Structure 1
């Protein structure tokens, strides 16, 4: 640990700064997510879901503890393995996780390097099991899923990192599925950078839909996707499981012709106007005759319809206007992806191995879901707080550790601005 010499300050020559305070924690608030994960039995979930191939002899720290410690690092915002070397000395972290639950950079790096493709699939399952904590609520009868892809930049010679023309950059092109109502991440899959948006989207979403249908057979599920997912195999994967889909269509000559015929204006208007129509448009390779809707908009003082939004769906009952509105509400997924990247380092791709980069991305995804559960259960009135706000208000504050006979006390500053918020959250955790 870097030691500071006693240094006088110009603002007050009588004031010196030195980091020799001993039993002080800079992240005392991390006891909250650590206690929360104990209440939801995270260790048991990991043990029963991910089966690590641990070939080490005489190891003091199990892979389950290493996994949990890495998750806590992500939640705290320390997204490099080397941060563990200093953070493991934090007294509150050592006490809360246990002496054998704090690891060094070398232990974490070796652990991630040991993860296999099977472990990646099992970590995907862990994402779903965490989401089950709230998705199994019987009062909820409808679920809207947003599937999307994003780009992760790479720098160097990472395995399978290739050029993506859409983003004009080298990197990876992962798939993601979120639950719109809760913001929970239900699936994440790292892919090479040059694959098309819908590549393997049907096989990616199928096990997720199967899991949700098994969990809640009565749930009405709708999947939303942009034009990158306009693929017959994707439609069929949803329809086969009695899941509705709303996917944007790309324009072609046939659609342009039908759209022009259906939306010809009869007179010039002085105000903005919009219309919705259903098109008689089918493709032979579609497994069924799906419904195609066009939403057209016209600017004021124009005979022309300037903008057209085309959707394909297997939902035959909901009115056109409702489907258009429902599709446009998928914009929130961009904020969730941004939170996943900026808040949990999902886009950290500094390993040469593709498997290791995929493992790091999934660890970030699990940390993200833990925080989402934390917010949904403990602060549902403000569940859209970002992790940056939570770290400022709940996690990163100073505490002093004192040892007494048979007990340890964590003292918080009486002048802590958010002490009331912290106390309420802790009481709610203890009552779980």
Structure 2
């Protein structure tokens, strides 16, 4: 039962120096400890200003911090200006100054940030990952109205841009974030992006695997990866010839494809190689009964082409299916870092916005790996914000000292203090 004290006599917003982002000191301390923002100083801009009050690197830093904290609109810039805690940590500019900043963005700006994203992800992978797994996928960024270089994407049925992402599966880090026009096909530019990633990776004594969907079913790609000593696992397109060969294989092994009702999946491989593919490969397939939600009366068949000659058919299919988890990485980029929202007319400005989201995505996942522990190492950014960032704190200034006073009822105070002390050492 709700007590009668629920009937308050008055409410107001005159509580004093209270911030709702007390936990932001964890992310800010992390960025400072590892000096991650220093790389923003060399980003080029078309700047003709004289005696500017805020440098371009200062404004980029503000945009990055705002994105990390979950403030995505330009109007949210005033939060950095007025918040009693954030204003102590960030020398924030006004919203009109921020709006004018985007006019100085150009292609070189975006290419430089893209290189920082690649270097940031690859440097960590080089030091800590032995079996590198690259998951490549394309996604959409929906547009509204007449935005430059957007187009109708038939696969998604919307107007927008068509970015391509390469994630490292073990760390979730982005190794490539390629913002493309809406007219780009799913695999356009893949080899160029892969070359850039490989240029940053130290592959000595390591294995590199690549997984992709049927959009990357391209013999040119496969030959290149084979010669680069990369094991690829790509879903084959549903060509009738391949389907018929699989059904024939099943019949030869006494399996009636049309009446296949076994609960266990059937794994096998067929002898087939495209004429345009000059390197050896395997076609591995999986047959399983149609699920209730699938509107089909026949079993489901999917096939994977690979140059992996050692693993069993079942292991190859299981390994490929793990790729589904990497699609959640792209979903996190879009949902938790605003990567699905571009509000400018100019393509380069929208690209800059997407690059900032990608950079913040990598910042958070480095923070998750290096600072968080136990079950917290699996949480997404929005969960972190709810659990550790959005904490009310009173900012007390006294005798040239700043004291942060958190609520004694905060549930995760022991873990919070542990993470904070970890960042101070």
Normalised to the residue count of structure 2, the TM-score between the two structures is: 0.90
Secondary structure of the 2:265 match is strand
1:192-207 alignment, distance < 5 Å:
192-207=181-196
User: Over residues 193-237 of structure 1, what are the superposed CA-to-partner deviations in whole Å (9 max), with x where a residue is unaligned?
Assistant: 23221122221222112211xx34222111100001111232234
Give the unaligned 5+ runs of structure 1.
1-8
Q: 1:58 aligns with which of 39, 46, 51?
A: 51
Counterparts of 1:243 and 1:380, CA distance in 2: 32
Provide the alpha-carbon RMSD of the alignment. Answer: 2.3
Counterparts of 1:332 and 1:270, CA distance in 2: 28
Residue 406 of structure 2 corresponds to residue 412 of structure 1: yes
1:32-431 alignment, distance < 5 Å:
32-47=26-41, 50-97=43-90, 101-132=91-122, 134-138=124-128, 140-212=129-201, 215-264=202-251, 265-266=253-254, 271-297=262-288, 306-381=299-374, 382-431=376-425
CA contact (8 A) 1:28 1:395 kept: yes
CA contact (8 A) 2:123 2:200 kept: no
Cα–Cα, structure 1 residues 237 and 39, in superposed 2: closer, same or farther, change >3 Å? farther
Counterparts of 1:428 and 1:417, CA distance in 2: 19
Shift of 1:311: 0.9
Counterparts of 1:108 and 1:270, CA distance in 2: 61
Aligned counterpart, 1:6: none
Deviates more, 1:180-189 or 1:357-366: 180-189
Shift of 1:19: 1.8
Counterparts of 2:300 and 2:119, CA distance in 1: 42
Counterparts of 1:73 and 1:21, CA distance in 2: 24
Shift of 1:417: 2.2
User: Over residues 1-37 of structure 1, what are the superposed CA-to-partner deviations in whole Å (9 max), with x where a residue is unaligned?
Assistant: xxxxxxxx994353x2222233222212111111100
Counterparts of 1:286 and 1:119, CA distance in 2: 38
Shift of 1:333: 1.7
CA contact (8 A) 1:263 1:305 kept: no
Counterparts of 1:224 and 1:109, CA distance in 2: 40
CA contact (8 A) 1:272 1:299 kept: no
CA contact (8 A) 1:244 1:315 kept: yes
Counterparts of 1:145 and 1:186, CA distance in 2: 9
Counterparts of 1:299 and 1:360, CA distance in 2: 42
Counterparts of 1:290 and 1:296, CA distance in 2: 20
Q: 1:30 aligns with which of 5, 17, 24?
A: 24
Shift of 1:137: 2.8
CA contact (8 A) 1:275 1:296 kept: yes
Counterparts of 2:186 and 2:401, CA distance in 1: 55
CA contact (8 A) 1:263 1:296 kept: no
Counterparts of 2:85 and 2:79, CA distance in 1: 13
Shift of 1:356: 0.7
Counterparts of 2:214 and 2:31, CA distance in 1: 38
Counterparts of 1:270 and 1:295, CA distance in 2: 14
Normalised to the residue count of structure 1, the TM-score between the two structures is: 0.89
Counterparts of 2:352 and 2:266, CA distance in 1: 47
Counterparts of 2:59 and 2:290, CA distance in 1: 59
